[in-house]
């Protein structure tokens, strides 16, 4: 299982389950300095980021395709540290069905309500079956010390996830040509040869740590004390 630390400035309903089993604490000042900068630089958050989830992934660990759901303001900032990893964005099943039947009217229908999904313990909503071979799915390589921000349709209409596997496919990685450092990794990391352009698989060999920074919208201040 992934290890995680859950920092929150606020007490939120879905964190109750975690609060007593995981490390939940007020966001420390070294971290608010970072999240405040993200807010200022991007101008994408209406108020200060008040929730940070720190995940640790071993090379064979990922996170199943999910949506972060309506508890958060629909902008996510993910800081990646240590190992590179491939994150996949796959269309929500409802969006996919609409694309198949009515490609002109993609946004006219509501996506399923959160009640139809399950909470994965981090406030996110798990969804099992997705199809990464879907032509409208795409992937990004998250390099160490990178910041990924996604919002709008990427938040509402797509699931994001990381495969539970040491080998990550580079086929659909949109930013692979920008990841120069990959070329300097040990040649074992890029299977089949030296040049990453010629090959389509990346081997994860180190632990990755991510900081998922979000803004919780609905605050339940009096639920419990820390
Ligand atoms: O570790 C990551 O890059 C993704 C984490 C994530 O999607 C989440 O915590 O909801
Ligand atoms: Fe997520």
Give the DSSP letter string of 95-161: HHHHHHH-GGGTTSSPPPPGGGSEE-SSS-EE-----TTSTT-EEEEE-TTEEEEEEHHHHHTEEEE
**Ligand 1 close to Cβ of residue 124 (< 6 A):** yes
Q: Where is pLDDT greater, at 171 or 151?
A: 151
* Digit-coded pLDDT (tens) for 21-34: 345 678 899 999 99
What angle (nearest 5°) sits at the alpha carbon of residue 57, between those of residues 206 and 177?
60
Q: Where is pLDDT greater, at 160 or 137?
A: 160
Ligand 1 atom index nearest CA of 124 = 10
Ligand (nearest to CA of 88):
1
Which residue has a Cα nearest atom 8 of ligand 1? 212
Ligand (nearest to CA of 158):
2
Residue 29 lies in a domain: yes
Residue 219 lies in a domain: no
**Ligand 1 close to Cβ of residue 89 (< 6 A):** no
**Ligand 1 close to Cβ of residue 98 (< 6 A):** no
Residue 7 lies in a domain: yes
* Digit-coded pLDDT (tens) for 93-111: 776 666 666 544 433 333 3
**Ligand 1 close to Cβ of residue 83 (< 6 A):** no
Quick check: 189 pLDDT over 80?
no
Residue 179's pLDDT is 80
Distance separating alpha carbons of residues 53 and 47, to the nearest angstrom: 18
Instruction: Tell me the residue range of the domain where 141 lies.
Output: 3-173+205-214
Q: pLDDT band for position 221 (50/70/90)?
A: low
Residue 189 lies in a domain: no
Average pLDDT over residues 44-69: 95
Domain count, the chain: 1
Quick check: 80 pLDDT over 60?
yes
Residue 129 lies in a domain: yes
| Complex ipTM value | 0.99
Residue 33 lies in a domain: yes
Which residue has a Cα nearest atom 9 of ligand 1? 212
Residue 222 lies in a domain: no
Quick check: 38 pLDDT over 90?
yes
Residues with Cβ within 8 Å of residue 202, at least 6 apart in sequence = 84, 86, 141, 167, 168, 169, 170, 182, 189, 190, 191, 196
**Ligand 1 close to Cβ of residue 78 (< 6 A):** yes
CATH number of the domain that residue 132 is part of = 2.60.120.590
Residue 73 lies in a domain: yes
Q: Where is pLDDT greater, at 114 or 45?
A: 45
């Amino acid at each position: 299982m992934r290890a995680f630390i859950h920092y929150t400035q606020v007490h939120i309903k879905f964190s109750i389950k975690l609060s007593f089993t995981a490390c939940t604490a007020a966001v420390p000042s070294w971290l608010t300095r970072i999240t405040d900068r993200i807010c200022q630089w991007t101008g994408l958050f209406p108020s200060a980021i008040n929730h940070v989830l720190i995940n640790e992934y071993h090379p064979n660990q990922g996170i199943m395709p999910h949506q972060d759901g309506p508890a958060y303001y629909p902008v996510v900032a993910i800081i990646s540290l240590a190992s590179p990893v491939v994150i996949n964005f796959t269309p929500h099943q409802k969006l996919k069905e609409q694309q198949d039947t009515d490609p002109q009217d993609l946004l006219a229908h509501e996506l399923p309500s959160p009640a139809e999904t399950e909470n994965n313990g981090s406030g996110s909503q798990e969804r099992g079956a997705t199809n990464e071979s879907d032509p409208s799915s795409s992937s990004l390589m998250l390099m160490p010390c990178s910041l990924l921000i996604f919002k709008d349709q990427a938040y509402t209409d797509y699931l994001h996830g990381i495969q539970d596997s040491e080998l990550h496919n580079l086929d659909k990685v949109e930013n692979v040509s920008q990841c120069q450092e990959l070329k300097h990794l040990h040649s074992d990391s890029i299977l089949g040869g030296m040049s990453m352009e010629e090959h389509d698989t990346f081997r994860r060999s180190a632990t990755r740590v991510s900081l998922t920074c979000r803004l919780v919208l609905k605050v339940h201040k009096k639920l419990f004390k820390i």
